[in-house]
Amino acid sequence: MDFFAPEYGGPSGKSPGDSPERLLAQATAATRAGDMGTALDLLQRAAWLAPHGSALLVRCLAWTRLARIGRYAQWPDGCGAVTPEMEAREPWPETARLDEERLSRAYQAATRGNVANLSLDLNIGVILRVLADLPAAQSTLRSAVTAGSTPEDLNELLEAVTGRLSGLRGTLAADPGLNPVAALVCRAMATLCHEAGMDERAAELLAEAEQRCAGDPHGYALAQLTRGDWAAAIRTSPLLLDHWPVLSLGARTAEARVLPGRRIRPDLAERAYAAAERAVGDAPEEEVVAQRLLAGLKLRRAYLARLAGDGAATVALATEAEKMAREAGDQRLRWTAWTHLALASIAAGEPFDPAEGIAELAVWAHGPGSLSLAEGLGALCSQEGHQAARAGHYQRAASCHRLARRIHGALGFAGNEAQSVTDLGTLRQQVGDRAGAQVSLAEAAALFEADIRRRPALALRESVRLVGILLAHLRLLNTTGDDPDALRRTADRIRSAMARLPLVNDDPEPADLEDEDDDTLAPNLDELLEAWLLVKNAGDALEAAEVHIPASRAVAALARGQAREASLLFTEAMRAVERADPERRDLHRAHVLGRRREWARAAAAYRAHRAYRAHQAGRAAALGMPDLIEPGADTLARAGEHELAAATFVSYRAYADAEIELRALRGMLGEDWWRRSLEPWTALEIEGETARGLAAESRAAGRGPGVGYGRAVGFYREALRSIEVVRGEAARRAAADPRVVSRIQFGAAHCLLQAAEAARSEDAARADALAAEAFCVGERSRARAFLDLLEARRATGEAEIPALAGWRAAGAEVALPQHLAATRLAGGEPPDPRLAERSARAEQRLAALEQELARDNPALWRELDTRGEPLGAEAVARLLPEGTLLVSYLLREDRLLVWAIDAAGTLVSRVLDVDGVAGLVRAVRNACANGGDPAGPARELAAVLLAPVHEALLTHRDVLVVPSGALHSLPFGVLPWRGAPLAAQRTLSVLPGAGALPFLRPVLPKALAGGRLLAVGDPAFMRAPEGRHARRLPGSGLEAGVIARQYPGDGEALLGDAATKDAVLAAAAGASVLHLATHAWLEESSPLSSAVLFADGQALHLADLAGAALGADLVVLSACRTGQGGVSPGDDVRGLISGVLATGAGAAVVTLWPVHDLATALFMTDFHRRLRTAGSVPEALRRTQEVFRRRSPAQHRRAVMRLLAASGDADGRLADARAALAAKGAEYWSWLDTAGHPQIWAAFVAVAAPAE
């Protein structure tokens, strides 16, 4: 029997000259080469031509069965596990049953015709009992091994799967002429014994196979290949791939590279491969079989080179293997080698474009090849990605997962594609890229949902995976932002997916599977258990979501000043609490009460929850219920419960309860228990905030100043240090959640200021030092604002700024080994020096890349860099001119920190308990923007914000305001002070942080005269990114044209069709003043996704603007609402201001709300005129605002007429703008009646340095 048939040709058609013998020979060769589709076509034609009752027909049908398995279960050494995708494409188990029936009838006919003999029996036996059964037997044994079966059970199972093989082996042994076939059976039995862990028996059988191949160099070489593969101890063979089906969120591709109890021995593997190579070299002549074996050897050595880390050798060997396999016609080996070449190129960092290869692979897999093999190659990429991640190689791991996704996508396996996206999301989450993880998980869920809609037969299994991914997404949403709408959408998707799991419920009756049409689609016990656990977890998560969603919406309503709506939403949340399971009812009640800021009641409810849990645990112990958790793990689990309880009590400001939990925790793990935490900064925050709260309560009770603050300050300092250690020397890619970092930094500043106030009466010098330290911590929290704005933008799925893509990936290369090291430490494992070495190398590469970025785009790098020490109060004082006051606010919930600094030093440092500040800010801003009366809320805000710095304001003319949180959208100039708006009495400028002071540049009259201005106005056919067209702004065209005409230097205006994005960016290069009078599109959830609109529907996103490196002295954005974007978690800088300063601008003017285009034109032309004499941007803005505030309606009308006259008649574009204005109705001109209202003059904000 020739298992190594010569090279086969393509099908030759049904010509009379075709013989079934020739077709069968071609089909066996095609099967060996992996072209199962071609083999099946040839075999069907051969069976049609073979005489009925002949041995030839029996052989054709037997090989048909084998080729079918090879196409759908990866013959011969695959595990044979069939994935849902295969079953959905072709119900091959049913086809296999029909094949077996035909074979049985043909064999019976051959027996009746006396043509059956020992040779035919052996053919059928070897094909059906060895080759066809081997994959399923391997799969059964491997599953038993990985499930932890006992040696006795494994031996019994082994006897069951090898029973028929033993009889066949005995029959073959009697005839030395059948030694090659006997060697094949021995090798198969050895493989099964090795799978079962019976290594001695496996070695004996393999040795027998080698002996029986004395005259068969090919068979001997195959035996040596098997021995070498055992020594390599690989789960996935580099040649004959046995992939694991990916049926759960746990992705079995993530399992270890080696089988249980094995270890890799490259030396033994190479010795065996060398013996195989010698055997092939002893073959009588060079032939295709030898070529295939040599190609297989090349590929195995490529694999060993990859294990040894020799990238160049791996690429070279894999390239040779792919070429040799292609020349030998072995497509299966060729594509396996191609995949190893792709993985080797990724590991070596060499360029490799897989697009063409993936397309060819898909065509081959869907045509003559094997879908099973192609899917397995995708799984191989996933497995390599997990291995790279475990070794701390982020970019390699990410590239492997992306390659896996592309392969599965080309094959049409949407479920596996979704799993690859999930793997990438999990990897991103490990390195702290929560925005990227959120996008990946959302995309994976969408892929699963689409696959379920397209193939309902897969709904059960795919829904299990979908529920798991959506649960992970729900947890991310809870940690990355308070977005009730996103929570609701995800919760609804989880319910929809759970509705497809009818087999999983709480009914103790067994599930009825009779309705399943295909037994292969019915879930097995492991899948049912996984589904049951997921449904339980999903039920708990959905229950919590029903409470959290209305509670979050209520908090948002309170911030909008809608108290009645908030009350209704809190009532809805409480109703959801009453519907919850009694075990968690008090927990949910505490959450709602905490969101209502009813701290005492929230703490009492959580106390009741803890008592209930303790009671249930006591009952379980009294009933003698076994504890399934190992003792060590039990200690860690209980410690985790105490840590969570302490954190929760701290959030409810129940510091005494938190201290009780911390004492229990210290008793279990020691005083430095926080060192074992994956996030030590959070653990230290709990200790620090508990100590601070107890100290504040002690001071309020009159038990002495400063008691306990020293301990609190110590913990907070250690928390800040731990963040910096994990973030690395360069400190840009924190594994900590940005929200958590921001919270800790605010808590530290708050604690330091409270300690300073407590120490003031006894030690003024120490108090000053603590206040200065608090200021530095506050400034550090502002330093990462732009970086976190980028994260918010990426969470929406927007593409990365090109200049930052490599930098972020290099940062992840540092973060991943740090995460792995922290995981080992938390688990009590010793440090791994390889991870430390890997991290050090990654740090060096990152530092070099950052130096390059800082050199090429210094302004953008300043916005990104959080490594540098922030400006302290003393440094700020040295930068401030005489008569200038910097007022810095840091706001979080109901706590406000205030500093006032001038050239002499710190004048004010205060901690204030405030309430409703965000609502008052919103009320003032809405009243101003909508023409209402802001007086009432403005007075309340002035009492909060200006009263603490009143004395300092009296003696300073210029005021620099550093806002925080909601204060960024506040027009500070409207606040009343000494009977008039603050803007009427002081020159105001807003800064994103004190750290911006060294980089802001004054705009001097002489610089204007010698510079160049670019003004852009009224672009034609503007369209928002969502596709909606924006109305024209004829007033902005007039504005840009007049400003350019009156500019003392070189002025240029781009109007109408000429105002395209490319034209603006090209003309802006080298401009000293850039004035954009156009529409802006505001994206509240992602400020850097906001965009300035230009002609022909083009838009310039703020993130792209940030990377433009324009370097203008002054950028004016008079577009609607350009100054306000949504505050990102942990961020104190509004989107536009950050984006503009990142371009290198020396100063900026932006708007806080939409302003009438003609009113803006009048205001801005006046501003530019005054800029030539005022001495500074803030002073020019103040004078313009004061003129607008004091003018009568009649004076404003005359000013408009002067503006129209100034446009002249020479420029046809401006004439068109005047004509468009003339055509406007009375409503358009109604703004003139209220032109002195803050709606116009208070909308404009200066971001600029003080006058010198």
Q: Is 1118 found in the same domain as 986?
A: no
Given 870, 895, 920, the domain boundary residue is 870
Q: Is 374 found in the same domain as 302?
A: yes
Q: Is 753 found in the same domain as 692?
A: yes
Question: What is the structure's pLDDT at 501?
Answer: 66
**Cβ-proximal residues to 71 (8 Å cutoff; 6+ apart), any chain:** 36, 37, 40, 92, 369, 370, 371, 372
| Residue 277 domain flag | yes
1158 class by beta-carbon count within 10 Å (0-12 exposed, 13-18 middle, 19+ buried): buried
What would the two tokens of residue 228 be?
């070498």
Nearest to 286 by CA among 324, 316, 337: 324
| Residue 1124 domain flag | yes
CA–CA separation, 139 and 173 (whole Å): 27
- For 503, the 3-state DSSP assignment is coil
Question: What is the structure's pLDDT at 793?
Answer: 45
Q: How many CB atoms lie within 10 A of CB 1252?
A: 10
Question: What is the structure's pLDDT at 595?
Answer: 93
Residues of the chain with pLDDT under 50: 1-16, 75-89, 235-253, 256-257, 503-521, 625-632, 726-734, 790, 793-796, 1122-1133
- For 507, the 3-state DSSP assignment is coil
Q: Is 964 found in the same domain as 879?
A: yes
- Sheet strand arrangement including 1012-1019: 1050-1056, 1012-1019, 1073-1077, 1114-1117, 1148-1151, 1244-1247
Q: Is 350 found in the same domain as 268?
A: yes
| Residue 1212 domain flag | yes
- Between the alpha carbon of residue 1149 and those of residues 1050, 1167, 1180, the distances in Å are 20, 10, 11
The answer to whether 509 touches 533, Cβ cutoff 8 Å, is no
The answer to whether 929 touches 974, Cβ cutoff 8 Å, is no
* pTM as predicted: 0.71
Q: How many CB atoms lie within 10 A of CB 303?
A: 26
CA–CA separation, 957 and 901 (whole Å): 13
Cis peptide before 1193 (omega within 30 of 0): no
Question: What is the structure's pLDDT at 783?
Answer: 64
Q: Is 985 found in the same domain as 856?
A: no
CATH of residue 947's domain is 3.30.420
Q: Is 1130 found in the same domain as 1026?
A: yes
Question: What is the structure's pLDDT at 530?
Answer: 65
Nearest to 1147 by CA among 1189, 1124, 1166, 1175: 1175
Into how many domains does the chain fold? 4
- Geometric angle at alpha carbon 470, from 431 and 445, rounded to 5°: 90
Q: Please name the residue ranges forming H helices in 857-963.
A: 858-864, 873-879, 917-929, 935-945, 950-954
| Residue 828 domain flag | yes
**Cβ-proximal residues to 510 (8 Å cutoff; 6+ apart), any chain:** none
Q: Is 925 found in the same domain as 878?
A: yes
- Between the alpha carbon of residue 256 and those of residues 261, 348, 416, 764, 1023, the distances in Å are 11, 22, 19, 61, 52
pLDDT, one tens digit per residue, over 971-1001 is 999 999 999 999 999 999 999 888 888 888 8
Q: How many CB atoms lie within 10 A of CB 640?
A: 12
Cα end-to-end span (Å), the chain = 98
The answer to whether 1086 touches 1126, Cβ cutoff 8 Å, is yes
- The single residue listed with the structure tokens 């577009």 is 1119
- For 287, the 3-state DSSP assignment is coil
CA–CA separation, 140 and 158 (whole Å): 9
Given 974, 997, 1020, the domain boundary residue is 997
Question: What is the structure's pLDDT at 1108?
Answer: 66
| Residue 789 domain flag | yes
CA atoms in the 13 A half-sphere facing the CB of 768: 9
Containing structural domain, residue 771: 672-870
CA–CA separation, 528 and 248 (whole Å): 11
| Residue 462 domain flag | no
Question: What is the structure's pLDDT at 1078?
Answer: 87
CA–CA separation, 81 and 413 (whole Å): 16
The answer to whether 910 touches 778, Cβ cutoff 8 Å, is no
What would the two tokens of residue 887 be?
């007022």
CATH of residue 1243's domain is 3.40.50
| Residue 523 domain flag | no
> For 937-970, b where at least 16 C-beta lie within 10 A, e where not — what string?
bbebbbebbbebbeebbeebebbbbbbbbbbbbb
Q: Is 1022 found in the same domain as 955?
A: no
**Cβ-proximal residues to 245 (8 Å cutoff; 6+ apart), any chain:** 81, 82, 83, 84, 252
Given 982, 997, 1012, the domain boundary residue is 997
Q: Is 1104 found in the same domain as 1137?
A: yes
CA–CA separation, 1132 and 1123 (whole Å): 13
Q: Is 973 found in the same domain as 1117?
A: no
- Between the alpha carbon of residue 365 and those of residues 131, 244, 334, 371, 444, the distances in Å are 21, 18, 12, 5, 24
Q: Is 804 found in the same domain as 897?
A: no
What would the two tokens of residue 927 be?
């009243």
| Residue 489 domain flag | no
